[in-house]
Structures are given as C-alpha cells and as structure tokens.
Amino acid sequence: MPPARTETPTRTHLRWWFYFAMIGGLLAAYALGALQGEFQPAILTVSAGAAAGWVAWCLFSDRARGRLRCPRCGYDTSGNREADLTCPECGKTVRSKRGFQRTKRHWRRAVVGALPLLIGVGMWGHLMAKKHGWGRVLPDVVLAAIAPMDGKRLFHELEERLAEEKTGPVSEWIAQLRVRATLTPESKNWTDAAYLLPYGEMGRFQKQLIAGLSSTDPNVAEMAAGRLIETPLSNDARAALVQAATRGEKWVIEVAPEINLVEAAPALEQIVRSSESVYVRTMALGALVQLRPAPAGLAEAFLAAFNDPESRMRHGGAVMILQPECAVDTESPAALCGSFCQGLSEATPRASSISWARGNEGQTPASPCLGL
C-alpha cells in the first residue's frame, strides 16, 4: 500500500471555518455600527488583526520540520528514490530534494481569510472618505504627489499633515518639489503653494518670494512678505520691500516694524501725508513710531497727523505720541506743539495732550497752549 498522507500540524488548531466565522462576526458588528453612523475603530482593528493573523497562519505555520512531503498535497515522499523528484500522488515535480521540505502554503484558506480583511479595510476607507474626504485614506507620498495646489480638499489634507509633522521625509521632499514648481509669476495657485513652504527654510525660496513681492495680486504680495520675514533678509529682499513701500503697499506697513525696515521710513512718512485711507495713514504712523533708531522725519509725520482732516487720525497721533516707545523729540518745533494743542480739541485727545505736556512741563511750548 502507498504511504498515507501525513497529518499536518494545522489539524490540531481551530477549524478554519470557525476562525472565519469569528472574523465575520466582528465585521458584521462593525458593519452594524457603521450603518448606524457610529465609527468603531476598536472592532475594526481586532477583526483586521484576526484576519491578518489567520492569513499568516495559513501561509507560514505548516512547516515540514525535517519531514519529506509534497509541498502541494502533503504526501509522504520519504520512500521516493534519491533521484525521484516527482510526487507519486499529485505529480508535482520539485527542483531538488529540499523542495520536499518546503513549508506548505494553504492558499485557499488564506484567500478565505483575506476576504474579510479586504472587506474591513474597504469599509474603513469608505467611512473615512465619507467623513473627512477620500484624501484622508491616501498614503502621504501619494497625497503629496497628486494634491492640487489650488486650495481644494486634497490640498487642505496635505496642509494639515505637513503642519502636524505627520509626513515622512520622502513626502516632504515631493511636496517641496511641487511647491518650487508652483512658485512662478504666472501661477494661479501661488499663495497656496507658498503656504506649504516649511517653516524656517525660506532661504532656499527667497528668489521666488522676492518675485512675489512685485505681484499685482495683493494676496500674493502679502503672502510673499509674510513668509519672507521668517528668515534673515538679504539685501535684495530688503530693497524689494522698500520698493513695495514706495508703491504704498499696505502689507509693507504691517511687516516693517517686525523687521525694523528703517530704509522704508521716507516712504512711510509719505504714506502718512498722502494716503487716501485713514486706516493706512494711521498704520504708517504706528510703524514709524516702532522703528529704531527713530526716523528723522518722525516729528513732521506727527505734525501731519495732528493737522489731518480726519479726527481718527488726530486721535491716533495723540495716543501714539504718549506711548513709552515713541521717540519723538520732546523739544519739537513750536509748529508741532501748536498743532498738537489746536488740532486736538476733542475731549479724549485733549486729556491725552494735557498729560503729555504736563510730563514735559518747562521743556515744550505746548504748556501755554494748554493753560498749564
């Protein structure tokens, strides 16, 4: 009689159908929760782990352990002649004698176990896509490669991952390549791409950011200035900012105190005198007050503010000149003091002007104007 087929170690374990039923039950419970709108990651994790364990068991647990057997059907081939490399049961031929000592793979059982794993992963992906968008289920590298730089959902997903430092170096490298390609004058997505630039690494992108300062789109210019000041400014960058201030760009006024752009003082003084917006005029005066060393034309800028037709500008000047950081000359020309008294007859600024004059009593011609 031919030798009987060997009993494999898997016979001593749980039956595969029972294991599969357990996985199916877990997935059914998860599916029921999903239908009710409840996300239950614990059930999915357990079921996916069980399915993955089953697949690994089917493919790697049935080792030969020194026995000679057919890797396909498990027939005992220890009685074969040395040169006989064919299984007498199923006809499978191996390349060498060691082929009869290979681990037996239970592919059918593995496929049965992989089905619930795939179903569970698919259900998880569907729920995540439904709740957060399908970009949430994409790997970092894929997302960095395909996300459009136009502020859409995929871009926002990539933006969140980069901000939270959840991406790897490869994903960041791909994102930087795409950002560099998008930072061109003709790009419609310039601001979105500039937003993705890594913090503290603006030096590599200074040329693109300087070019953005001259854009006719105020959003692009403002974004370029905001990202540019995150790094030590080169002479070219400061010159570009001064040119923008000469053009009267509002965003330069906002960043000038942060980088102490004293070169832009003449342009800011001109804005105080001639800008059509009282808001911009007030901002320019505030920026001049914060520059160090104090610009030579600061007193003249205050004189223009005190004689401004808008009361809001006069109020703003009164408040700023009393600030501790204001370095205007206390022995200013009489024209400044006279305008300070005459132009600030409103209640609140008058009280402020009295405080200022009293603090400098005996040093400024403003005291007689205020009855001190």
- Number of neighbours of residue 1 by Cβ within 10 angstroms: 3
> What does the domain layout of the chain look like in residue ranges?
9-132, 264-372
Q: Quickly state the pLDDT bin for 367 (edges 50, 70, 90).
A: very low
Higher pLDDT, 194 or 8: 194
Q: Both tokens of residue 147?
A: 């996300």
Least confident of 130-134, 217-221, 245-249, 310-314: 130-134
Give CA angle at 278 (254, 220), nearest 5°. 35
Determine the pLDDT at residue 119.
72
pLDDT tens digits, residue range 93-144? 777 766 666 777 778 777 777 777 777 677 777 777 677 666 666 777 777 7
Q: Alpha carbon of 185 to those of 163, 193, 208, 237, 356: distances in Å? A: 25, 12, 8, 17, 50
Contacts of 168 (CB under 8 A, 6+ apart): 140, 141
Angle at 247 between CA 261 and CA 318, to 5 degrees: 60
User: Which residues lie below 8 Å from residue 211, measured CB to CB, with a gap of 6+?
Assistant: 185, 224
Dihedral of the alpha carbons of 219, 223, 226, 229, in degrees to the nearest 10: -130
Instruction: Give the pLDDT score at 82.
Output: 59
pLDDT tens profile 329-359: 645 555 555 555 554 444 444 445 544 544 4
Beta bridge partners of 76: 69
Q: Residue 285 has what pLDDT?
A: 92
Buried/exposed code over 214-225 (b: 16+ C-beta within 10 A; e: otherwise): ebeeeebbbbbb
Q: What is the mean pLDDT of residues 156-181?
A: 71
Rounded to whole angstroms, what are the CA distances from 75 to 100, 127, 315?
10, 47, 99
34-85 pLDDT tens trace: 554 455 566 666 667 777 777 887 777 767 666 777 777 767 776 666 556 7
Residue where the block lists tokens 């400014």: 233
How confident is residue 202, by pLDDT bands cut at 50, 70 and 90? low
Supply the mean pLDDT for the chain: 71
**DSSP H or E segment with residue 43:** helix 41-60
Mark 232-253 as b/e (b = at least 16 C-beta within 10 Å).
ebeeebbebbbebbeebbbbbb
What is the end-to-end Cα distance of the chain in Å, rounded? 129
Which residues make Cβ contacts (< 8 Å) with residue 87, sequence separation at least 6? 70, 72, 73, 75, 77, 93
Query: How many whole angstroms separate alpha carbon 12 and alpha carbon 250?
Result: 79
Q: Using alpha carbons, select from 251, 327, 240, 244 the residue that is nearest to residue 283.
A: 251
